[in-house]
Amino acid sequence: MTEFSFGTAISHWSKTEGPSGFIWKYLAFYGGIVIAMALIVGLLLGPIYVALLQSIGDLTTDPEAANNAMEAAMAQNVIQIVLGYLVALLLGWVLWAVFECAAQRRYIRGDRFSLRFGADERRMMVVGLIWIIMIILLYFGIAIVTGILMMPLVMMAGDNSGLIIFVPMLVILVVFGVMSLFIVRWSAAAALTIRDEKIHFFHSWSVTKGKFWPMFGAFLVLSLILGVGWFLIYGAFLASVMGPAIAAGNSAGSMSLGPVMIVIMVVLYLALLIFQAFAGFVMAGVAALAAKSDPEYSGLQAANVFD
């Protein structure tokens, strides 16, 4: 049985078994597929993108004209825009399932890098759908409960400025704690689905029993580290986008995106997406280790039934 601890969880992403070169292939293919998906969605959402590029020069000099141009483009192409977003959601759902399966097959089975759309991916899409439903239910449930609990606290606070500040902070901490509890305890769902070759979700609660704090700590530390990298790349991307606009607004009053600037923006945006994929792979390692260290796991594949 694989040992589970804070230290092993936080470094598990770098200690997978199997053929070398997995992570580089994983990220390279992710970047290539994302570009292909962006082109497909771009064709469907072309009108809104064209309107944005045409009006971007007016953002600093005539914001009202820019907003009017965008609203007109959306009103004239509403069906195409809705279709484009639906296609983007479907492709994103499939993309997540395919790469999550590739990552978990690596963690659980030590497989070489491979992309496919088979039984694993179809089961993973169901797991992703359950995730979305549960997060929505959890969000509204917490919102209702906190709303009910906040009402008497706000009434008790009255004009006390200290309590008025304290109550929202308390609510934020409670919401963060509850969301963290459920997300961490359910986080092994994808790994269990690959491990047992059947749809798992709520079984993750029992598998992660007694592992919440080391898992929470690993997720928190990795999030902080990866967050710094994401912030640096995103900051560079924003600077490449907003810098010319600010400079143009302060000088000529219009902006011209040259080919070099466009290339820089595309490269930085692609780097942001690839880094996001890397972060997802790293985070998946924590949950995968929890599934592998399950004392009830015998290494035998279970029947293909829903759990």
pLDDT interval class at 259 (50, 70, 90): low
Report the distance separating Cα 1 and Cα 297, nearest Å.
8
CA 129 to mean position of chain CA atoms: 14
Look at residues 160, 98, 145, 148 and name the one whose alpha carbon lies nearest to residue 124: 98
Domain layout of the chain by residue ranges? 6-292
The pLDDT of 100-105, averaged and rounded, is 95
- Amino acid of residue 277: A
Render pLDDT for 149-164 as a digit per residue (tens, 0 to 9): 777 766 665 555 555 6
Among the ranges given (46-50, 139-143, 171-175), the one the predictor scored with the smallest mean pLDDT:
46-50
pTM: 0.78
| pLDDT above 80 for 224 | yes
Instruction: Count CB neighbours of 89 within 10 A.
Output: 11
Q: Looking at residue 17, what is its pLDDT?
A: 83
